[in-house]
Amino acid sequence: MMSILTYFLLVLLLIIPFISLTYAVEINVVDFGARGDGKTDASPAFLKAWTVACSSLEPTTIYVPRRRFLLGQITFEGPCTNSGITLRIDGILVSPAYEKMGSAKYWMLFDKVEGVNITGGFLDGQGSSLWSCKGVAGQDCPVGATSLTFFGSKDVTIQNLTSINAKLYHIVILSSQNVVLQGVRIYAPEESPNTDGVHVEKSLNVRILNSGIKTGDDCVSIGPGTKDLWIQRVACGPGHGISIGSLGKEVNEEGVENVVVKSVVFTGTQNGLRIKSWGRPSKGYVKGVVFKQVVMNNVQNPILIDQNYCPNNEGCPGQHSGIQISNVTYTAIKGTSATKVAIKFDCSQTSPCEGIKEQNIQLSYLGELAESSCQNARGVVLGSVFPPSCL
């Protein structure tokens, strides 16, 4: 009896360390030499930690403690043997000034990774000196680097991350699939140029949930080749709203398909729900979009389709967009417009908008009746729609 019990206890004692090893590998960037003094470049240490996590066979957490880390341009490169990497960040990651980043397009780039979770963290893009440079006419400034990019990646979660003052976009999801952004906070001043909150392009099954975005450009911009995108419980503003496009800059372009934007609030934004395409020939399209339960607070263009985008009137022969827009539903949209035309469908003469559905819309302008404006748009009206539909 006794000896069997002792035997089991001994076996347990022997295997416990292995259980914990296979379950919770956690490595700390400080142990790889990251200083966390806000001055010494911590990217060599982050890269060493990444190499360990990426080549491990066990789920691995890279922990970033509550300090301030200066992080130069860094690529977290895959593919990895590990599909369970968590980056748990309690600290602040600070980007170098733009002068030190040359023509880099990315600050933090995750390239071809699979199974990566980022939890927490505060990214400071240090964008203000670049915005000032861009604000001076004739000055030669770089385009700037996006703060956080996932490229060619799969099964990614970004939770409770805060990103401020990106030099260019804050977060880009490019050529990736199965990505969830949850509880993300994005902030840049209203007048900061091109600081889009989240840009999604050529990606499949992306979800943006429970997030707040205040910035100088689009809160979310949706590029060609985006399919199955779900945006829910997002507060946007200041900013330029949620925009599908600009699309149709190229002739051969992938379409945008199956997008849902639900329970979103826009406050003081330039646009609310926008679809925008160049007035140029293109084989691209937008189909299967649902906008629902949306609140507009003092939004300049609450509902807008603009197919005549052509900055400086250059390169838009005939000004007709080839982008075919179809099956777009606007339902339960209410609030206030900051201009008289609250709903504007300015569609292409050669590819008119088809299957637009307006249902239960209640938008006012300074307490007065607002207006709708339609060009080349066809569709149906259900329930009560104010301003009265022109479909």
By annotation, the residues acting in catalysis are 240
- 59-88 residues near ligand NAG, rule: CB under 6 A: 59, 84, 86
Which one, 16 or 380, has the nearer CB to ligand NAG?
A: 380
Q: What is the β-pairing status of strands 60-64 and 74-77? A: unpaired
Q: Rounded to an integer, what is the distance from CA 282 to the centroid of its chain?
A: 25
Q: Alpha-carbon distance 22 to 222, whole Å?
A: 40
Which one, 327 or 349, has the nearer CB to ligand NAG?
A: 327
**Binding-site size, ligand NAG (CB under 6 A):** 14
- Site for ligand NAG contains 56 (CB under 6 A): no
Our CA angle for 79, 175, 89, nearest 5°, is 60
Candidate ranges 11-19, 27-35, 114-122, 132-140; the one touching ligand NAG (CB under 6 A): 114-122
Q: Alpha-carbon distance 217 to 224, whole Å?
A: 18
CB of 108 to ligand NAG, least distance (A): 18
CB of 213 to ligand NAG, least distance (A): 17
Candidate ranges 65-73, 128-136, 152-160, 331-339; the one touching ligand NAG (CB under 6 A): 152-160
Which phi and psi angles does 19 have, rounded to 5°?
A: -60, -50
Tokens at 74, concatenated: 């860094």
From candidates 51, 75, 128, 157, binder to ligand NAG by CB under 6 A: 157
**Residues with Cβ within 8 Å of residue 137, at least 6 apart in sequence:** none
First to last CA, the chain: 85
Q: Which residues pair with 204 in a beta bridge?
A: 177, 227
CB of 314 to ligand NAG, least distance (A): 34
Which one, 28 or 319, has the nearer CB to ligand NAG?
A: 28
CB of 119 to ligand NAG, least distance (A): 4
Cβ atoms of residues 48 and 33 within 8 Å: yes
Cβ atoms of residues 167 and 107 within 8 Å: yes
Q: Alpha-carbon distance 131 to 83, whole Å?
A: 38
Among 386, 331, 329, which residue's Cα sits nearest to residue 359?
A: 331
Candidate ranges 115-123, 132-140, 200-208, 366-374; the one touching ligand NAG (CB under 6 A): 115-123
- Site for ligand NAG contains 121 (CB under 6 A): no
Give the number of other Cβ atoms within 10 Å of residue 201's Cβ.
18
- 182-211 residues near ligand NAG, rule: CB under 6 A: 183
CB of 50 to ligand NAG, least distance (A): 14
- Site for ligand NAG contains 327 (CB under 6 A): yes
From candidates 51, 175, 258, 331, binder to ligand NAG by CB under 6 A: 258
Q: Which residues pair with 243 in a beta bridge?
A: 221, 274
Residue numbers of the site for ligand NAG (CB under 6 A)?
59, 84, 86, 115, 117, 119, 157, 159-160, 183, 258, 288, 290, 327
